[in-house]
A = this chain, B = another copy of it.
Amino acid sequence: MAGASYPGTMDTPDDDWLRLDQQICFSLHAASRAFNGVYRVILKDLGLTYPQYLVMLVLWEHGELPVKKLGEHLRLDSGTLSPLLKRLEAAGLVTRERSARDERSVQVRLTEEGTELRRRALQVPRRIAASTGFGAAEIRALRARLDDLTTALDAAALSETPGGSPADARS
C-alpha cells in the first residue's frame, strides 16, 4: 500500500525491491507453513506428519522403492529420509530391507497396515481442497506456477553455487 504501483520493473529503487522481496518470500514461507498446518490437523487422524504423508503417497503409487528412488521423487536425501522411514517402520506402515541384489540399497515396502491406510487417506485431498477454497482448475494453475518457479530456482541455485559444478546431468 505504501507508495505504489510499479508497472514493470523500469527503475524500481532498491528500497522498494527490498520491500517487495519481503513480501514475496514472506508469502511463500507463510503459505507453506499454513498448508503444513492444515495437513497437520487433518493428518493427525492418520497418525502421519506432512512429510510422512508425502512418502506414503509415493509408496501408494509405486508399491515399493529403494530409498534412493524415493528421494528422487521427493527431492530429499537419506539424511532426511532415513530417520523418517525408521519412524514409519516403527509405526508399522513400512518395512525396510537391504536388497539381496545390491546390498547397498534398502528396499522400502508397504506393510498390510500401510497399504490399508490408503483407504482412510482417500478423503484427505478433498478436505484439503475444501480448506483452500480453490477449485481443481485453480489448484492446477497454481501448481504449474510453482513448478515453473521451482525449476527456475533449481537452475539458478546451481549457477549461483560457489562450487558451481557444471556437470549436473542427472540420470
| Neighbouring B residues of A32 by C-beta, 8 Å | 28-29, 31-32
Ordered nearest first, which 3 A-B pairs have the shortest CB separation? A8-B135, A21-B125, A131-B156
Q: A residues bordering B, Cβ < 8 Å?
A: 6-9, 12, 14-15, 17-35, 37-39, 41-42, 44, 50, 53-54, 57-58, 60-61, 74-75, 118, 121-140, 142-143, 145-147, 149-150, 152-154, 156-157, 160-162
| Neighbouring B residues of A25 by C-beta, 8 Å | 35, 39, 50, 53-54, 128
Interface of chain A, main secondary structure: helix
Question: B14, B39, B146: which contacts A27 (Cβ < 8 A)?
Answer: B146
A64 to B34 Cα, complex, angstroms = 27
Cβ of A147 and Cβ of B12 under 8 Å apart?
A: no
Chain B residue nearest to A4 (CB atoms) is B130
With A25-B39, A139-B20 already in contact, the answer to whether A34 and B162 are too (CB < 8 A) is: no
CB-defined A-B contacts under 8 Å, sample of 30: A6-B126, A6-B130, A6-B135, A6-B136, A7-B133, A7-B134, A9-B135, A14-B126, A18-B57, A18-B118, A20-B125, A20-B139, A20-B140, A21-B57, A21-B128, A22-B57, A27-B150, A28-B32, A30-B75, A30-B147, A31-B149, A31-B153, A33-B75, A34-B154, A37-B157, A38-B153, A38-B156, A44-B162, A132-B149, A132-B152
| Neighbouring B residues of A143 by C-beta, 8 Å | 23-24, 27
Question: B136, B140, B162: which contacts A41 (Cβ < 8 A)?
Answer: B162
With A17-B125, A38-B153, A156-B130 already in contact, the answer to whether A146 and B22 are too (CB < 8 A) is: no
With A44-B162, A126-B6, A162-B41 already in contact, the answer to whether A131 and B146 are too (CB < 8 A) is: no
